[in-house]
Structure 1
């Protein structure tokens, strides 16, 4: 008894849903022409799913079709054309191998019959054409998406915090899509950045989102709605759209696919200032490992992850002793214990001494004379013309594009390969891409000096930060975030003897004024000093045998 099945599929959401009905209708007509009757229970379909290998796990209809084939549920199947089955070359080869035993017959509406003479050649040619058509389609889709970005439209599904707005012409045809801010979700995004900037770990932020029952940024696979995970918080924080730029080929999914195919990823930045939710400074602080060297952040102690090792560059970690906590370099300790050879720094520094050092550094950098000198340099920024930087970048881009066009014309006009000319063209192309990125960065930010922020910073006294950092009820992550902004570099350079430790420190005075005034940081300059931390044991005293009363002392080194 002949049992007949049908499989139909269309590729993307932009195709008409009636495509499935049209394919099934043509398959039924072919069945009638061959005197066959289709079993209604053996009609398998997939809607809006690609035929490439990366979408195979989504094709439930095709998987059910394969399972029925393995179980012998039919001995004839009909498709509109072989490319409806798959566009993957490996899958097509497997189908051909299955059809060669002639237990199951394939008919297609374009005239292919697996029981006819020489069908293998025709099937192979059609498969090659289908594969090339898939490549052409991928190229056309990418070209169209890039063109939409150049015209000011947006592509892809809107990120969390935005919603889609389609634009139509006078006759109702869709010409493009825009993203617009969803204020309810945008408030959540700003709060996430504020919490991360305040030092909270991604685990803490995810816990807060779940406690507040805030819907996930993506549609959950299960009916319970899913929940926020630290990795999802990290993805949200790293999205450049929240600082007003969209990165072409910036997704990790595209990067992984390109790496598998050996394709070099060429990214390009498009300015979308109307979609900005946070400032550039906030975005970079939340994505750089400033107040925590780990990707997810955290730590129950304020000093966790702040200091680096002057020997290997690793992060100093806290010991597990409760009474006398200390910092040490785990990398150097492991390296020395494994006898790998080389120079290692395995000394420890007591946490009590580090706290004394930090307080002394703050008092050293926030002296009235130092603050006054910095305010004088800040005052000069009000009279500077920063627009020149933007104009210079634009002129440089025009010159580079002219050079690239000239080199491209020269390469087109020669018949033989010229390695030197090709290398120069590649270098110029990379310079053009870098210059475009720089220009987009400059245009997406307010290049002009924020006069109000400067005025506020000129009036505030940064010494108020001392009182804030000394508060007993200040959360460890908050204190760690403040210290990381004030001291971008805290490096332990080793000991000179048992009780003498040396440190290299960089202080950001602009961050101090910004934190004290509650404004954005204007000056990015840093001041560097070296310090010596000295410990005096309790049993030691002066010449008369009296206890000195202090056990830690800090001294500024000249070099």
Structure 2
């Protein structure tokens, strides 16, 4: 009996959870009429079909590769995907696994459906986007919001004569408008956005979306018109279509792209003005002065003050708030949250050279201690090699069984050719042929187990570490060595210690450690990760965290 799995989805433009159950019910009725065995169902709720970054479809494709069913059924092809490339890829992978695609709307799916319906799905998305933009443009040109709300305003909720909601109306929020005026006034007077953010947070004034204030919330991006200081709505100008959003085909995330200025739509809305023209111009003049200071003759922003990357940049974290540690004064690192928002209590600063020397010493004395790492490597190597030998043994057993089955088939054929035949041979031959096909399929799709780890892994690791430290001292090889050293570090946690001391905790990256130990330039095999935690706990050696 054929086995079938269902897939159902509804997108954000159809927010009705019952839609999933309706789709599955119709699929279930069809499968019962066909006499198919139902394996299960997969679904994605409130997710667009324009991307494959969906847990339901990913789970379906994973189980399809394991051949847990023979048929995939959905209400229609556009439920599975509306993207031409994605639907073609799904069809190709299912066909390779020998799995049929069936929909209630189109029936059995073929290459013809993929071409036509894929194109129709893509055109539908484009048409929907065009209609949405057309509707938003009309709303903007009538002085209403084109989507979202800015700090300083609140949404006006009212209905028309038919009871339908009237969308896009905003009005000034008196308290937030006062905060906006304060920000503009302070900035024009010479205060930095970071100082303004600190003061607002210290007074408990909530920022946009009730979050804390940060410098970027205030200064934003001049070209994109975001940030408090760049919002032209505050001077009574509603600007729409300043940027467009494209979906990254690799990640499925939206990426902003700036539109040409002649495509912007600007509408005067004097009733929403918060800032007068004189104050606005003062702010714009100060922004222009600051921009000019940090742009060179070629127009490259911040080139004159571009900071070089230090050995452990990006790996340091605050022990209290979890935020990053960045350069706050000359060669001193401090909590970025303290610097930008002032909402963290960890005011501890650490000199860069002191931090680097302490971490490097700890890497050599603790994380690379020969006796401890050897104990870990011995146990780790034994366990990984055991798993790999089991995998190799399973393949060997299947190869041996295949030879045996082929020999039995050959003997039976020879017996028939010699004139010897019994009814039982007729029943046994299909079973042998089926088993032969199954073994061939398993062997063709099986991955060869990785090579066994060398028992001298610990010695190799120590040798590699010594070479790393030698390369770190040489200017010609320092950059490459720095990258390798960084790969051994998960993160460095900075906390205040006693008597104004600085406590540092180093968390090693086991993947980087094992990659170096194996003498490879590629990460450890995925199966290695499954035994890391049990092995570390089992031998009592924990290379992941220790105090410096």
Structure 1 or 2: more helix by fraction? 2
